[in-house]
């Protein structure tokens, strides 16, 4: 089954020593009372739930998968329902929910950390409550007061779960093509008909009701994305008193057989004159859906962070235990017939790559969580706006860069185990399979790259990017008097300068030929990912260096390890940026020259 231990020490380093969350939360009236000790208690108890309840179900879920029964109901794997009941009863589902709807009002940064642990323990299970968060956010932003009153408390408590019904057989990326219809009824509701595919958590036995958020077209709606509206379609229509009423015309036609996340039911959802209610303005459904998608995109980054962490833990334990061959510099363990494989430089490369990616991703995603708290709850408008800009800029990077690295990390973890990594009983191959979907759904990573370069960078002439750049320059300046930090700050400064030049060049070329942006986008996202991770590693190294000076013998190894990992990152992973910059500069001609017919 493998092992999972919540990485509390590193989580605390990021939250308390790097981000100083308590200090920032004090400035948000809603969270002014939250202190470091409360956060630590939540993480410790939440970590126990993840390690003791969710993790033991991970392999079971993979092996058993979900079953669609003859009546269209879906049975989740053994233990999933009981774990969900406990999750709700112990209040974990309502952790980050707003107090006005029955939630505990914990800041996003804290619930993000909890989400990391849930995903390490069991991504497929975590997707059931995870999708409810997206539905909650969209309804909170665009729902009527009545809709909020009916749905948000139930989504908060976990009594009901949510889904996101966008994709149809002929359209996933290009939602402008969707065909599902919504006909108005005389009572103000709509009759929704069509077929959605690939709907995560679309049908299951965990909750009493499922709240589908469905994209559909009104009669005479304009073609394309300007004619899409968003509807609530509950599995059971709520009665006036809030209890569940009649069964609605929404059902699961089948469940997909897929590569990973077997414990999560990926459903074909048939809508047969299902009763639905409009959310927000007619034909503006995509705006509402983007609220849900942005929240989900950050959540997908969190899924890959969680998987990379648990895969790393297992490959590390194996590398310390497995003996094969002798160290090149002479026996490290002469009493045994061979040395542990962790003594071999290339095994260390695989372990340190995972570690450097995981720890930077943790710092990045928790920072994003805090930025979301500041975006929504800071009393000063300028700070809210600055944080909103940074979150908008970096959401595609959280999704794209962390999920690409998550797949690489889980593959490396499998490689550390050699042939045993490929054998199901060790669990590593499941992580590789589970991690692969994260690069595809919520907008493929190509779409994230186009969003970053097109909408977030070029559309505002680099204004948001410059805001982020200013933060980088300030960090570098703060270390100007510390020569020991130069080995970290120099490459960060050099990459920032390259990014400014490259962005201007691509912008110029794209004005003449839009394919230039399309051709540069994917390497560009990876370059920006490294800019963010370089920033994170400079930040972490700066904190570690300071703390090391006064650290106890017990604490010193942690800070030394941070510095060594930062050095590894800049020596072995950061250099990838030079090749990526060349790729991004190589333009569209090498891709577009070949006629489609001649491929």
Ligand X SMILES: Cc1cc2nc3c(=O)[nH]c(=O)nc-3n(C[C@H](O)[C@H](O)[C@H](O)COP(=O)(O)OP(=O)(O)OC[C@H]3O[C@@H](n4cnc5c(N)ncnc54)[C@H](O)[C@@H]3O)c2cc1C
401 binds ligand X (CB under 6 A): no
Instruction: Give the binding range for ligand X (CB under 6 A) out of 341-349, 371-379, 443-451, 533-541.
Output: 443-451
d(CA 363, CA 458): 26
Task: State the nearest-atom distance from the C-beta of 271 to ligand X, in Å.
Answer: 13
Chain positions 82 to 141 lying near ligand X, rule: CB under 6 A, are: none
Write the CA distances from 523 to 117, 404, 513, 536, integer angstroms.
30, 12, 18, 20
* Residue 266 or 503 having the CB closest to ligand X: 266
Instruction: Give the binding range for ligand X (CB under 6 A) out of 44-52, 435-443, 508-516, 580-588.
Output: 435-443
Task: State the nearest-atom distance from the C-beta of 268 to ligand X, in Å.
Answer: 11
Instruction: Give the binding range for ligand X (CB under 6 A) out of 182-190, 439-447, 483-491, 590-598.
Output: 439-447
524 binds ligand X (CB under 6 A): no
* Residue 19 or 74 having the CB closest to ligand X: 74
Is residue 514 within 8 A of residue 591, CB to CB? The reply is: no
Is residue 458 within 8 A of residue 507, CB to CB? The reply is: yes
d(CA 459, CA 315): 43
65 binds ligand X (CB under 6 A): no
440 binds ligand X (CB under 6 A): yes
Instruction: Give the binding range for ligand X (CB under 6 A) out of 34-42, 357-365, 438-446, 466-474.
Output: 438-446
Instruction: Give the binding range for ligand X (CB under 6 A) out of 135-143, 360-368, 440-448, 558-566.
Output: 440-448
Burial 102-139 (b: 16+ CB within 10 A, else e): ebbebbbbbbbbbbbbbbbbbbbbbbbbbbbbbbbbbb
Task: State the nearest-atom distance from the C-beta of 51 to ligand X, in Å.
Answer: 26
* Residue 343 or 451 having the CB closest to ligand X: 451
Is residue 520 within 8 A of residue 503, CB to CB? The reply is: no
* Residue 118 or 541 having the CB closest to ligand X: 118
Among the listed residues 203, 343, 429, 442, the single catalytic one is 442
250 binds ligand X (CB under 6 A): no
Task: State the nearest-atom distance from the C-beta of 258 to ligand X, in Å.
Answer: 5
Instruction: Give the binding range for ligand X (CB under 6 A) out of 65-73, 309-317, 413-421, 444-452.
Output: 444-452
| Element (DSSP H or E) covering residue 139 | helix 108-142
Chain positions 135 to 194 lying near ligand X, rule: CB under 6 A, are: 164-167, 172-173
266 binds ligand X (CB under 6 A): yes
* Residue 133 or 378 having the CB closest to ligand X: 133
441 binds ligand X (CB under 6 A): yes
Residue 442 is among the residues annotated as catalytic for this protein: yes
Long-range contacts formed by 254-260: CB under 8 A, 24+ apart? 254/68, 255/66, 255/67, 255/68, 255/74, 255/203, 256/197, 256/198, 258/437, 259/433, 259/436, 259/437, 260/62, 260/124, 260/430, 260/432, 260/433, 260/434, 260/435, 260/436, 260/437
Task: State the nearest-atom distance from the C-beta of 591 to ligand X, in Å.
Answer: 11
Task: State the nearest-atom distance from the C-beta of 201 to ligand X, in Å.
Answer: 7
Residues in Cβ contact with 405 at an 8 Å cutoff, skipping those fewer than 6 apart: 304, 308, 357, 361, 529
Task: State the nearest-atom distance from the C-beta of 172 to ligand X, in Å.
Answer: 2
Q: Report which of 269, 204, 259 is spatially closest to residue 438, judged by C-alpha positions.
A: 259
Three-state SS for 393? Answer: helix
Closest residue to ligand X, judged by C-beta, is: 172
Instruction: Give the binding range for ligand X (CB under 6 A) out of 348-356, 437-445, 461-469, 497-505.
Output: 437-445
Helices 345-377 + 556-568 axis angle, to 10? 100
* Residue 18 or 265 having the CB closest to ligand X: 265
Residue by residue, DSSP assigns 371-388 as HHHHHHH-SSHHHHHHHH
Q: Select the residue interacting with ligand X from 8, 447, 475, 564 (CB under 6 A).
A: 447
* Residue 198 or 569 having the CB closest to ligand X: 198
Alpha-carbon torsion, ordered 281, 231, 84, 117, to 10 deg: -50
437 binds ligand X (CB under 6 A): yes
Chain positions 326 to 385 lying near ligand X, rule: CB under 6 A, are: none
Residues in Cβ contact with 385 at an 8 Å cutoff, skipping those fewer than 6 apart: none
Task: State the nearest-atom distance from the C-beta of 327 to ligand X, in Å.
Answer: 43
274 binds ligand X (CB under 6 A): no
* Residue 34 or 437 having the CB closest to ligand X: 437
CA 532 to chain centre: 16
Q: How many residues does this entry show for the chain?
A: 599
Q: Select the residue interacting with ligand X from 16, 26, 81, 258 (CB under 6 A).
A: 258
Chain positions 198 to 227 lying near ligand X, rule: CB under 6 A, are: 198-200
407 binds ligand X (CB under 6 A): no
Task: State the nearest-atom distance from the C-beta of 263 to ligand X, in Å.
Answer: 12
Could you tell me the maximum CA-CA distance found in the chain, to the nearest angstrom? Answer: 84
Is residue 485 within 8 A of residue 542, CB to CB? The reply is: yes
* Residue 194 or 491 having the CB closest to ligand X: 194
Q: Report which of 105, 112, 231, 97 is spatially closest to residue 158, judged by C-alpha positions.
A: 97
Task: State the nearest-atom distance from the C-beta of 264 to ligand X, in Å.
Answer: 7
Is residue 205 within 8 A of residue 75, CB to CB? The reply is: yes
* Residue 517 or 532 having the CB closest to ligand X: 517
Residue 103 structure tokens: 């939630």
Residues in contact with ligand X, total (CB under 6 A)? 19
Q: Select the residue interacting with ligand X from 129, 421, 443, 529 (CB under 6 A).
A: 443
Three-state SS for 20? Answer: coil
Task: State the nearest-atom distance from the C-beta of 166 to ligand X, in Å.
Answer: 3
Write the CA distances from 43 to 14, 21, 47, 593, integer angstroms.
13, 14, 6, 54
Burial class (CB in 10 A: 0-12, 13-18, 19+), 164: buried
444 binds ligand X (CB under 6 A): yes
* Residue 130 or 491 having the CB closest to ligand X: 130
Interacting residues with ligand X (CB under 6 A): 164-167, 172-173, 198-200, 258, 266, 437, 440-444, 446-447
Q: Active-site positions? A: 442
């Amino acid at each position: 089954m493998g092992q999972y231990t919540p990485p509390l020490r590193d989580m605390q380093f990021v939250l308390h020593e790097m981000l100083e969350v308590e200090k920032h939360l004090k400035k948000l009236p809603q969270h002014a009372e939250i202190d470091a000790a409360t956060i630590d208690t939540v993480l410790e108890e939440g970590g126990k739930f993840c390690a003791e309840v969710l993790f033991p179900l991970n392999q079971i879920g993979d092996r058993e998968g979900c079953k669609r029964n003859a009546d269209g109901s879906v049975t989740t794997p053994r233990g999933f329902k009981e774990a969900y009941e406990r999750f709700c009863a112990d209040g974990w589902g309502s952790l980050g929910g707003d107090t006005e709807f029955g939630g505990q009002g914990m800041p996003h940064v804290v619930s993000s950390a909890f989400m990391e642990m849930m995903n390490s323990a069991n991504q497929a299970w975590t997707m059931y409550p995870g999708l409810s968060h997206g539905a909650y956010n969209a309804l909170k932003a665009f729902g009527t007061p009545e809709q909020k009153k009916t749905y948000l408390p139930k989504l908060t408590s976990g009594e009901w779960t949510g889904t996101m019904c966008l994709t149809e057989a002929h359209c996933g990326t290009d939602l402008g093509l969707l065909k599902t219809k919504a006909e108005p009824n005389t009572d103000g509701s709509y009759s929704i008909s069509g077929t959605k595919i690939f709907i995560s958590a679309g049908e299951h036995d965990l909750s009493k009701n499922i709240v589908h958020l469905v994209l559909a077209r009104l009669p005479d709606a304009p073609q394309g994305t300007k004619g899409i509206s968003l509807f609530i379609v509950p599995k059971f229509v709520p009665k006036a008193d809030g209890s569940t009423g009649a069964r609605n015309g929404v059902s699961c036609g089948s469940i997909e057989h897929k590569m990973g996340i077997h414990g999560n039911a990926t459903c074909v959802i048939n809508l047969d004159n299902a009763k639905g209610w409009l959310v927000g303005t007619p034909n503006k459904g995509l705006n509402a859906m983007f609220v849900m998608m942005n929240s989900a995109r950050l959540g997908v980054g969190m899924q890959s962070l969680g998987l990379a962490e648990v895969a790393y833990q297992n490959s590390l334990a194996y590398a310390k235990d497995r003996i094969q061959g002798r160290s090149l510099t002479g026996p490290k363990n002469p009493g045994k017939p061979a040395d542990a494989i962790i003594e071999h430089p290339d095994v260390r490369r695989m372990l340190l790559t995972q570690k450097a990616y995981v720890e930077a991703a943790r710092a990045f995603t928790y920072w994003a969580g805090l930025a979301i708290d500041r975006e929504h709850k800071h009393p000063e408008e300028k700070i809210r706006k600055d944080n909103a800009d940074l979150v908008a800029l970096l959401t595609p990077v959280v999704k794209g860069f962390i999920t690409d690295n998550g797949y690489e990390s889980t593959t490396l973890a499998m490689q550390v185990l050699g042939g045993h990594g490929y054998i199901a009983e060790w669990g590593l191959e499941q992580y590789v399979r589970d991690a692969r979907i994260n690069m595809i759904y919520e907008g493929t990573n190509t779409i994230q790259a186009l969003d970053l370069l097109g909408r977030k960078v070029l559309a505002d002439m680099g204004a948001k990017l410059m805001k982020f750049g200013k933060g980088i320059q300030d960090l570098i300046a703060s270390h100007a008097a510390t020569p020991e930090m130069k080995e970290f700050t120099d490459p960060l400064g050099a990459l920032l300068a390259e990014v400014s030049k490259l962005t201007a060049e691509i912008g110029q070329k794209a004005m003449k030929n839009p394919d230039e942006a399309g051709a540069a986008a994917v390497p560009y996202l990876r370059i920006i990912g490294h800019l963010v991770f370089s920033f994170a590693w400079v930040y972490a190294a700066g904190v570690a260096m300071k703390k090391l000076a006064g650290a106890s013998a017990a604490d010193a190894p942690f800070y030394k390890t941070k510095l060594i990992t930062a050095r590894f990152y800049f020596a072995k992973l950061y250099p990838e940026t030079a090749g990526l910059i060349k790729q991004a500069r190589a333009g569209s001609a090498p891709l577009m020259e070949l006629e489609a017919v001649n491929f």
